A and B are shown apart, each in its own frame.
Chain A
Amino acid sequence: MREILRLFPEEIQQAVQVKLLNRWDKLQEIRLRLNQPIELIFDDGIEWLLTSKPTRKDGMYLINQLSEFSLYRLEDELREGYITIEGGHRVGLSGKVNTLNGSVKAIQHISFMNIRIAKEKIGVAKSIIPYLYDNGYLNTLFVGAPQTGKTTLIRDVTRIMSTGWGEVAAQKVGVIDERSEIAASIKGIPQHNLGLRTDVMDACPKAEGMMMMIRSMSPEILVVDEIGNEKDVDALLEAINAGVVVVCTIHGQTLDELKKRPSLQPLLHQSVFQRVILLESNRPGTIHRIYNEKEENIIRQPGVLTR
């Protein structure tokens, strides 16, 4: 966890270390707000570092460390509002925004930071991968609220698909990583283990990326995070028509709720997805239901599968 600790000035570094001891694996987020105590969010609760309140100088220190003293390189990142660091961790930023012609140009005075610890859990998808395979992989949709572990799951699914498991051979997998969350690439190189046969299109808009990937890299499986609008759905249908297997995630609670969304109508009415995996809220990584194309629950043993 050195790559996170070294972002902080000496004092905060020590305070965090003392508070954490060896609970890194349970840590989800470190939140810094200037002149407010530091907040640590664990899987099972929130703790505060009341003694250390970051000052503007500490904030500058952090930004300098993030940018390697070269703020000009973060132009894109300051517009998007997050920076991916070594190890795939993600630093979210907020503060005063500069605009140009009405659109965001950059965040200027950064006063809020949220360091999200990447959870690469190798092997979490092992138990669900058999459900996704039936003489070839099936089009799969992961449904869950934020923080239910969709991305973590889809990442491991990617890894398993592109390395192979049991009797099943490794497949060519293309990942369209619009929000740099699946692979967490830095300069195009994935920071997470995505298997042997995976190609990643980093920070690329999904709709375009899917088409580019199909044209250029001939993937057998496409992995996409957080589909939402009509353009995504159209591209997805096109990909499926091109004979590519699609694995993707979407925000949502239940299947019925998804059906109400107009943009998803074409997908759900044509029963494009042979598997829909519902994740339970409040308990990250817990599978609630797995539906087949006839909306029958096929999970043999509901509940914790992935731990």
Chain B
Amino acid sequence: MTGENTLVEVRDLKVHFPIKRGVLFDRTVGHVKAVDGVDLRITRGRTYGLVGESGCGKSTLGRALLQLTPPTSGEVSFDGVELTTLAPNKLRAMRRRMQMIFQDPMSSLDPRQNVESILTEGLQAHGIGGDRDGRRKIIAETLDQVGLPRWALSRYPHEFSGGQRQRIGIARALVLGPELIVADEPVSALDVSIQAQVVNLLDELQDNLGLTYLVIAHDLAVVRHISDTVGVMYLGALVEEAPSDRLYTEPLHPYTRALMSAVPVPDPDVEDRRERILIAGDLPSPANPPSGCRFHTRCPWAQPTRCADERPQLREIGDSRVACHWAEQIASGELRPHKVSVQITRPAGEGEEPSVVSAPTEPGSFV
């Protein structure tokens, strides 16, 4: 199945974190299933966007892909090389080709290192550039690419504004000449006007250098703007994957529909006309996820059969892949949304057992 131009392929990736209890003897009392069986493929030179609400496992997936968090099971192949079983020294050499951009540029840059030192460190670790002059040349080129002035080299992170700090973070990733860049919430800590600058910069770098991106963000509008393909995650699994244009025009999974209708659009006409699908309640705990389809506790289209006891697999409908038993029926309007009562799901062993309570005046599960 691996095509010529697939750079990254992830198969059935799982990352489970143990929940420990006890003082002397750590007992494992359960697992937080942060990522629970994800398959995805990233085409070379394209951008794959990953969206989802906080706690859905999107950042863990990004880190597991780079082997920064060891996956519990599953396979990750990068340019044909299997990363999960790779020897540490070989993995270290591979890291040169896959870099990461972090969310908060202030906490991901060492405040005691100046920009030159930040950018040199990676080059030294990988033995690129030979001597000092060679490295300086590479660094100077990288600074030009990200739009930072030369005098930045001798300065420290606190002397820069948020947008410029993020440019330093991007420069640190770029300086090694990577093929894949995993950007975890690259713009969410920035102001609106600065966000646009950084988004444009990422776009431009991709055009010039042929980079492949995995962009992880909670802001659907940003992700849709920069991605070719968007994957929507819910509770550790992909629920839908579609070309970014289709995702807005024809969302298939009920969760995607709700997510799309919840994002505010800066246009009063659109806002007034839109149909809002409000999903009731909060994200269930990933330590004790609902059975069957994980979204069925909050889904306005949930059916009495299949949804609660059979976990839907991603299947292809048109250009999209969707994990919903009833996607076609919902798309054709055969199934209508109904009101959902709020269910409270708690982690196993914490507080009361999961119990179902109705919310008398929950303001509309759909409007």
**A, B in one complex:** no
